[in-house]
Amino acid sequence: MPRRIDLHTHSTASDGTTPPARLVAEARAAGLDVLALTDHDTTAGWAEAADALPAGLSLVRGAEISCTAGGISLHLLAYLFDPDEPAFADRRHELRRSRLARAERMVGLLADDGHPVSWDQVQELAGGTVGRPHVAQALIDAGLVRSVEEAFTAEWIGTRGRYWVGKDDLEVLDAIRLVAGAGGVSVFAHPSASKRGRTVGDDVIVAMAEAGLAGLEVDHVDHDEDARRHLRGLAADLGLLVTGSSDFHGTNKAIPLARYVTDEASYDDLVSRATGLPVVAA
Ligand code: AMP
Ligand code: FE
Ligand code: FE
Ligand code: ZN
């Protein structure tokens, strides 16, 4: 039986709703052999996940880094990097600080319009890295919207929406170099997820490959067949590996663990390029 490998998931350390210990248990129950924990801009969930790792499951420690390229927001998956390497650790800290300031501003804009949401409440909803899904939950709790999906529209906190505030993200080419400098491997997360906002052109992916990008996340819920075909072709042309993953967020999104997976050869290739950290096996 080939190993079942899911390389992109979130826990309560960022905007998922499943604590890290439960996430690894659920991953094994879902039939996975390898799970990557990739919370937004943080490594805070790693220790709990590793301590609770069930027999038969391997843990890839990672993070999803908030990046920008020419004003377009994009996400970079960073795997198996040394969390103590200071240059990259400092930047993750800055990213989290920028997220705090911007979430507080979004709450302020909502409150200015008389909507009953408070910063205390949002901070309580966010156990780790704060994100728009926590603000969305506050909007649901206040009865202002019915779903996270509805909160992510132009009337509320959708990108460039009425109560949306941007954050200071990392230039993606700098991010790729920082990940490499910490011994890690980087993969471009959901490169063609157009429903979340603008996406970058192939020219940016070419530049990312030149800067040391290892792969493209192709099999993802936000990619249609055409996007996948195009990305697979691009990966082949640029010598990039291809991954697939659930981008699981617990009840914040409908997608289950292991919905999309990565093939064994790509996974082994990815791991072989890392020098920062080993994979954890129970
Ligand atoms: P932020 O990183 O704070 O800007 O929030 C973006 C996060 O919100 C993404 O990582 C997703 O987890 C989530 N998200 C983005 N778009 C949607 C959407 N349309 N519906 C639900 N969740 C979304
Ligand atoms: Fe998220
Ligand atoms: Fe993402
Ligand atoms: Zn994600």
Q: Tens digit of pLDDT for each residue in 233-274?
A: 999 999 999 999 999 999 988 899 999 999 999 999 999 999
Supply the pLDDT for residue 24.
Answer: 98
Mean pLDDT of 13-28: 98
Place of tokens 């509320």: 156
Q: How crowded is residue 54: how many other Cβ atoms within 10 Å of its Cβ?
A: 13
Q: Which residue's CA is the closest to the ligand 1 atom numbered 17?
A: 152
Q: What is the pLDDT of residues 94-105, one digit of tens each?
A: 999 999 999 999
Q: What is the mean pLDDT of the chain?
A: 97
What pLDDT, on a 0 to 100 scale, did the predictor assign at position 224?
97
- For residue 1, the model assigns a pLDDT of 87
Q: Check residue 184 and give its pLDDT.
A: 99
Asked if pLDDT for residue 39 goes beyond 90, the answer is yes
The model carries a pTM of 0.97
Instruction: Compute the distance from residue 133 Cα to the ligand 1 centre, in Å.
Output: 6
Assess whether pLDDT exceeds 90 at residue 190.
yes
Question: Which residues sit opposite 36 in a β-bridge?
Answer: 60
> What are phi and psi for residue 280, nearest 5 degrees?
-95, 130
Which amino acid is present at 83?
Answer: P
- 46 Cα to the center of ligand 3, angstroms: 18
CA 138, CA 34: separation in Å to the nearest integer? 33
pLDDT one-digit tens code per residue, 49-65: 999 999 999 999 999 99
Nearest CA to ligand 1 atom 21: 149
The answer to whether the CB of 168 falls within 8 A of the CB of 71 is: no
Alpha-carbon distance 240 to 263, whole Å?
14
Pocket lining: 8 vs ligand 1, CB cutoff 6 Å: no
CA torsion angle 7 253 257 121 (round to 10): 80
pLDDT at 58: 98
CATH 1.10.150.650 residue ranges of the chain are 98-151
| Nearest protein CA to atom 5 of ligand 1, as residue | 132
pLDDT value of position 196: 80
Question: DSSP labels for 63-84?
Answer: EEEEEEETTEEEEEEEES--TT
The Cα 86–Cα 267 span in angstroms is: 27
Is the per-residue pLDDT at 195 higher than 90? Answer: no
Pocket test for ligand 1, best of 139, 167, 196, 198 (most atoms within 8 A of CB): 196
Could you tell me if the CB of 196 is within 6 A of ligand 1?
Answer: yes
The four Cα atoms 237, 238, 242, 247 give a dihedral, to 10 degrees, of -120
Give residue 69 CA to ligand 3 midpoint distance, Å.
15
Q: For residue 216, is pLDDT > 90?
A: yes
- What is the pLDDT confidence band of residue 228, given thresholds at 50, 70 and 90? very high
Which one is the CATH code of 98-151: 1.10.150.650, 3.10.20.740, 1.10.150.120, 3.40.50.280? 1.10.150.650
- Give ranges for CATH 3.20.20.140 in the chain: 5-92+169-281
User: Nearest ligand to the C-alpha of residue 252?
Assistant: 1
Share of the chain above pLDDT 90, in %: 96
Could you tell me which CATH number the domain at 5-92+169-281 has?
3.20.20.140
Residue 197 has a pLDDT of 86
- Tell how far the Cα of 189 is from the centroid of ligand 3, in angstroms: 6
Return residues with CB closer than 5 A to ligand 4 (ion): 64, 247
> Are the C-beta atoms of residues 43 and 63 closer than 8 Å to each other?
yes
